[in-house]
């Protein structure tokens, strides 16, 4: 006998909860263990009921879904949160994922997606509404910058040569720069990457695949 996915519904609209309940409770592998009308209630019920998944509306009174998610993931690490929102604004998505949600579903994409999302999140996987994925990816690219992106192309060139073991003099000759300029580049590279020795620079370059 398959163990059912225990679900807590958290949404401040009773009609919405009722709709979710109908969709989810009809599944043989799911059961609704509780309902919360605001974020504070969602946190309290999560601690009492220890559900597998909390289907959480992001915009809720008293305690919003983001803050509630943060508290639930801190106090009930085995409970996974699937966030729901009307908005696919990447800031929203980023905040709720940072708070610990495992999935994010747009309210207008419910139906089949809801079941897939609940099963994925319950199984330890992440889930993002397809319409949200693109916003999240571009936002991620903007915010999680690769340290290498901090360097100018000339600095990257110098970094690679330092990592290959060349001296300032050799680098200066190859790039047609003064030794003084190469030294200045080296200092800036270390500062930008927060590295403190040539050894660390070499390890960084290897990790980034600049040298073998």
pLDDT of residue 129: 87
Q: Give 103's strand partners.
A: 82, 127
pLDDT of residue 82: 96
Residue 182 main-chain phi, psi, to 5 deg: -60, -40
pLDDT of residue 118: 96
pLDDT of residue 145: 66
Domains in the chain with CATH codes: 5-143 (3.40.50.2300), 147-207 (1.10.10.10)
pLDDT of residue 158: 93
Judged against a pLDDT cut of 70, whether residue 144 lies above it is answered with no
pLDDT of residue 80: 97
Q: How far apart are CA 149 and CA 60, in angstroms?
A: 38
Please tell me which residue, 106 or 137, carries the higher pLDDT value: 106
Residue 205 main-chain phi, psi, to 5 deg: -65, -40
CA-wise closest residue to 54 among 92, 86, 29, 20: 20
pTM of this structure: 0.66
């Amino acid at each position: 006998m398959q163990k059912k996915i225990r679900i807590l519904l958290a949404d401040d609209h009773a009609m919405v909860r009722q709709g979710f309940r109908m969709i989810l409770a009809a599944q043989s592998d799911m059961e609704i263990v509780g309902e919360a009308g605001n974020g504070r209630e969602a946190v309290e019920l999560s601690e009492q009921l220890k559900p597998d998944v909390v289907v959480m509306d992001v915009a809720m009174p008293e305690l919003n879904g983001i803050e509630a998610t943060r508290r639930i993931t801190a106090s009930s690490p085995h409970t996974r949160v699937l966030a729901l929102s009307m908005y696919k604004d990447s800031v929203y998505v980023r905040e709720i994922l940072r708070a610990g949600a495992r999935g994010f579903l747009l309210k207008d994409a419910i139906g089949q997606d809801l079941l897939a999302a609940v099963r994925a999140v319950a199984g330890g996987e992440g889930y993002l509404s397809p319409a949200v994925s693109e916003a999240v990816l571009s936002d991620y690219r903007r915010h999680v910058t690769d340290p290498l992106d901090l360097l100018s192309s000339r600095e990257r060139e110098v970094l690679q040569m330092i990592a290959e073991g060349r001296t300032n003099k050799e680098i200066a000759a190859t790039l047609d720069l003064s030794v003084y300029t190469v030294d200045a580049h080296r200092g800036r590279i270390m500062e930008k990457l927060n590295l403190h020795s040539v050894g660390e620079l070499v390890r960084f370059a290897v990790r980034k695949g600049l040298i073998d």
